[in-house]
Structure 1
Amino acid sequence: MSVETQVVGVEGPKDIEKKEDAGTEALRQSHVEVAAVDEVYTRKVYVFNKIINEHIGMNAWQWWLLVVAGMGWLLDNAWLQLVALILPQVSAEFFTAQELEQRPNKSAFLTLSLFTGSLVGSTLWGYLADILGRRISFNITLLICGVFGIAAGGAKSFAALAGLIGASCFGIGGSLPVDGMLFLEFLPGSHQYLLTLLSVSWSLGQLITSLIGWGFISGWNCDTHENCHGLYNSQGWLELNLGWRYTIFTTGAYTLFCFFVRFLVFPLPESPKYYLANGRDAQAVRAMHKFAALCGKPLPEGMLTVALLRQAAGEPPLDEYEELGEEPRGLMARLKYWFAEVRENVRHAKHVSLIRQIRPLFSSWALGYTTGMTWFLWLLIGLAYPLFNSFIVAYLGSSGDTSLYTQYRNYVIISVCGVPGSVIGAWMVTWPRSGRRGAMAIGTLLSGVFLFGFTGVGANADGQLGFFSVTNFFENIMYGVLYCYTPESFPAPLRGTADGIAAMLNRLMGIVATVIYIYSTSTEAPIYTSATLFLVAGLLMLTLRVETAARTSI
């Protein structure tokens, strides 16, 4: 029996070379990202994928990982929508009517701070996920967001509030690129569509924030600037307008709760593919054994060892290798272990620079086009989405209904309509003819169509609500599939950097969208721009060369 057959119990990595009379050509045609990694990694990850697909499969532990990873997506959108919710009341408290008359959208600088923090966070944490490991970024992002988020609720000035919101979003900015990537690397190929289902958490983040805001802000608010600006008590608190602060405190509190669930409750090994990408075969094998045991499918003795893995890839055996030892229990012991793990990860990846991570993504024309177009789509949608969603409460207020209760109630209705969109998106990506690209294009094009329809209803409150709800439904299809397609398109050694840059471009355009809104004199101009960009992005999605359905990511 060959070494390769011993490792996976089926055909081995060398069998790739025999398929379709073209060596590894079949793999390279379905995985254009293979051009960015070497042959040794390709053979080893093939072994790992065979074990995940044919021995481990899909189990309860991975379903719980879907929930835990979804916490990051939920919180990312929760903080984005929170800022949109509190803007009117923050504006009433910190700016006079005269200041807002000169610059009506001045409070939108808070949104600018949000996107600036998210931009830096998404870039840094995505890159560090390739350097320091997935697990470190996975946990620390929520800790940073929760601490600074709670502090933001006590801000006594607009500048302090903007700074603390920016700091909290520096943390949560890494959740989307890191959490989805980590979840993907523990999935069998047959269940990678579940990455789209993560967007249900994104929708729930909007819904939870809208419910919290509806309860607090509609109960504790200032109806006019005269009743609000400058009327503080001896402790420096404006008691009439505490609703937005309660909303921030609540969101920050459950952000920290999610961090403790991840760090203390849920047993999460480092991604085996991260270790494999860094040439650390011993720790990669050990992580695979731990992953299989957590899933209730321990690997039989001899199925996967360091010697067999290296021999399958054509490498000589190692005489010795370093390990950190078993991960201890207890908070302080785990923190000490994790610091040691970070030092070890840095030592192994100290030669890796951002340029060296980006250059392989353009190793071939097909991969370069996939990389460039995917990033460009994130850029377009990053401008289109916040032009509409980040200021949705302001748009709802333009209907002439001055009741805050009604505005926030409508926002809850719109949020509810987004949840089934995520579920439908997860179903659409399994369609054999359309796949990821078709589902993504359908959701994006229809978002643009219905957003254009919104401009025709004028100040009719019921019409606005209807078009907002339908648009949000299709936007969740679009975003859910895009978040699935992006990490699937890149190999694990470069996935964090590629995802981080995509998220960075998305947040960069959020800054541009905020500037447009601040200096726009028309309420409809941002809507027209958003709708047009959705249509352009939907057409460009049809030009993507790679379909990531029905294959296992490498």
Structure 2
Amino acid sequence: MSTSPKVEATEVSKVEEKGQRDSFKEADEKAPYIDVTSEDPEHVEGAALSQSYLKKVYIINRVMNEHVGFSRWHWGLMLLSGYGWLVDNLWLQGVAIILPQVNREFAPQHVEWMTFALYIGLILGAAGWGVAADIIGRRPAFNITLFLAGVFGIAAGGARNEVALGGLLAALGVGLGGNLPVDGMLFLEFIPGSKQYLLTLLSVFWSIGQLIASLVAWVFIVNYTCSGDNSDIATSGVCISSENQGWRYTFYTLGAVTLAGWFLRFVVFQLPESPKYLLSQGRDAEAVQVVKEIARRSGKELGDDILSVALLRSAAGEAHEMSDADEIVPEKRGLAGLLAVPKQLFAAAKNFSPSHLKPDLKLVKPLFATPKLAYNTSIIFVLWSFIGLAYPLFNAFLPLYLESRSVGTGNASVNETYSQYAYISICGVPGSLIAAWMVEMPRSGRRGAMALGTLLTGIFVIVSTQSPNKGAFLTFLCLEALFQNIMYGVLYAYTPESFPSPVRGTGDGIASSLNRIFGLMSPIIRIYGASESGPGVNAPLFTSGAMFIFCGLLMLTLRVESQGRTAL
């Protein structure tokens, strides 16, 4: 009895797929960056995922590691993802930098409320864009956040009173709040596991953002500001806008830098959607197409013998047949994509209902799927919360602290304040490079590097309050900036690595939201918890240092070490 050609082709296909899976299995014994199953003790977050997804993402990770690798395209993605981190700190520091000049021009009762307004927007942005990234995809959030931040940042530079400025800063925060949870997560999902340590290196852009903000402010504020003693408005009088344009020029410049990043992302680079997100949505054909497109952009070709929908579904024990759900709709990019945005927004608004605002616990429950995963998730959330308060208590008001210790008057005082701020910013840059080196050390890993950086950050914040002179104060602040960037560099890498891809945006969004919610308390503590002089003047700094030290000790109890494995 003869065998039909159709049956023979099917048998050949099965043999090829089995051979491909065998090659993956053989490679597993040699490669350190592997994914196994939900029972793998090193992949605690695997318990939150279906076996079907685990098997598919295992193959995707293997193809990314063995066949695609890390190319110039990935370096470009790293630069654009890092640009989001740069912009985030660019504006956080930019708002801190302008507080002394806003105080002189608008003379509000407490200028710290401007920081409060920014954090209101950051809370909404972090929660909204993090969850949205799991619902509508990584790519839309990646493109929209910088646009919103740039537009409202420039508008804030034109504010004519403190109420308008506060409102525009809140709107700025809505766009800005999505940068950290979305950008790091997206970069992680496109790179091979052997290069995941580069996620830590993204924090160097955080340092560069602070440096750019300080240099821009140093140029504009020093040269376009009112003369007189900035610490005594009652004596020197309130600045009029025409004589105090420096902080406005600073905001215009930072806004232009932000919009330049959006243009590079949306028009020039044209990033595809994350393949892991597509897998989590059951869009296997699109995930395969994206991986093959990345390979082409990296100068390689992937045949169906290496990656195909049939191979993925065979490994997951699913039917191979293509259906209408597998139809790939070409994405509009470049100018066509830009022109399509208003239509997409209108359609989204038309289909909106109040029920959409109801929290979807389906995206939260997987983060607590097992006791071990629940503990690790809870500790991550606590760390982001307490660091969210400790960081702005010190950094958001650093120009005010520097100004209070200035020995000069008038423009000399302004120059001294912003020059010192620039020096401190430069000191933080090496911290990110050290962090990227430490996370790959066998005896350190993510947890060790993160804990060490956090402990030393807290110690130097407290020590700086006891500085006998200006030189010692500046030295301790430089050391604090160095270790602070080690802490943040590892924390921002460890967090998305610890969450599974289908709910990674939700986990990152919750963590970032808690960070901003607790940061919201910092201006209140600064206003009502510190005295103008005497023992209470350093109360916010003592609080900040103590919380950093507590977080450093808490990091040692984390149950997951993400070194040497590929994120699911």
Alignment of 1:386-425 (within 5 A): 386-402=392-408, 403-425=413-435
In the other structure, the counterpart of 1:379 is 385
Is 1:298 the counterpart of 2:301? The answer is yes
Is 1:58 the counterpart of 2:47? The answer is no
Q: Matched residue pairs, number? A: 531
Query: Contact conserved, 2:38 with 2:54, CA < 8 A, in 1?
Result: no
Give CA-to-partner distance per residue, 1:379-429, whole Å, 9 cap, x none: 111111111000001111121424110110000000000000011011000
Query: Contact conserved, 2:148 with 2:175, CA < 8 A, in 1?
Result: yes
User: Gaps (5+ residues) in structure 1?
Assistant: 17-22, 101-105, 233-237
Query: Contact conserved, 1:401 with 1:461, CA < 8 A, in 2?
Result: no
Is 1:456 the counterpart of 2:466? The answer is yes
Is 1:267 the counterpart of 2:309? The answer is no
Deviation at 1:296, TM superposition (A): 1.6
Percent identity over the alignment is 49
Of 498, 502, 505, 2:511 maps to: 502
Query: Contact conserved, 1:6 with 1:303, CA < 8 A, in 2?
Result: no
Deviation at 1:304, TM superposition (A): 1.6
Q: 1:381 to 1:329 in 2, by over 3 A?
A: closer
In the other structure, the counterpart of 2:360 is 354
Cα distance between partner residues in 2 of 1:171 and 1:331: 22
Query: Contact conserved, 2:220 with 2:247, CA < 8 A, in 1?
Result: yes
Which deviates more from structure 2 when the two are superposed, residues 165-174 or residues 3-12?
Answer: 3-12
- State the secondary structure of the residue aligned to 1:544: coil
Structure-2-length-normalised TM-score: 0.89
Deviation at 1:298, TM superposition (A): 2.0
Cα distance between partner residues in 1 of 2:73 and 2:400: 42
Cα distance between partner residues in 1 of 2:15 and 2:555: 44
In the other structure, the counterpart of 1:19 is none
Cα distance between partner residues in 2 of 1:353 and 1:164: 27
Which deviates more from structure 2 when the two are superposed, residues 219-228 or residues 266-275?
Answer: 219-228
In the other structure, the counterpart of 2:3 is none
Query: Contact conserved, 2:47 with 2:369, CA < 8 A, in 1?
Result: yes
In the other structure, the counterpart of 2:186 is 182
Give CA-to-partner distance per residue, 1:76-133, whole Å, 9 cap, x none: 00000001100001011111xxx65xxxxx0000000111111110010000000000
Is 1:429 the counterpart of 2:439? The answer is yes
Query: Contact conserved, 2:393 with 2:544, CA < 8 A, in 1?
Result: yes
| Counterpart residue identity of residue 177, structure 1 | P
- State the secondary structure of the residue aligned to 1:65: helix
Structure-1-length-normalised TM-score: 0.91
In the other structure, the counterpart of 2:522 is 513
Cα distance between partner residues in 2 of 1:227 and 1:153: 26
Give CA-to-partner distance per residue, 1:22-49, whole Å, 9 cap, x none: x966852110001111110000000100
In the other structure, the counterpart of 1:368 is 374
Query: Contact conserved, 2:38 with 2:49, CA < 8 A, in 1?
Result: no
Give CA-to-partner distance per residue, 1:448-495, whole Å, 9 cap, x none: 11112111115x211111111100100000000000000000110000
Query: Contact conserved, 1:328 with 1:337, CA < 8 A, in 2?
Result: no
In the other structure, the counterpart of 1:523 is 537
Which deviates more from structure 2 when the two are superposed, residues 320-329 or residues 30-39?
Answer: 320-329
Cα distance between partner residues in 2 of 1:272 and 1:256: 27
| Counterpart residue identity of residue 66, structure 2 | E
In the other structure, the counterpart of 2:546 is 532
Deviation at 1:518, TM superposition (A): 1.4
Alignment of 1:176-325 (within 5 A): 176-222=180-226, 223-224=228-229, 225=233, 232=240, 238-322=241-325, 323-325=327-329
Alignment of 1:91-110 (within 5 A): 91-95=103-107, 100=109, 106-110=110-114
Of 482, 485, 491, 2:491 maps to: 482
Of 469, 474, 477, 1:465 maps to: 474
User: Gaps (5+ residues) in structure 2?
Assistant: 1-13, 29-34
Query: Contact conserved, 1:72 with 1:142, CA < 8 A, in 2?
Result: yes
Query: Contact conserved, 2:123 with 2:174, CA < 8 A, in 1?
Result: yes
Deviation at 1:354, TM superposition (A): 2.7
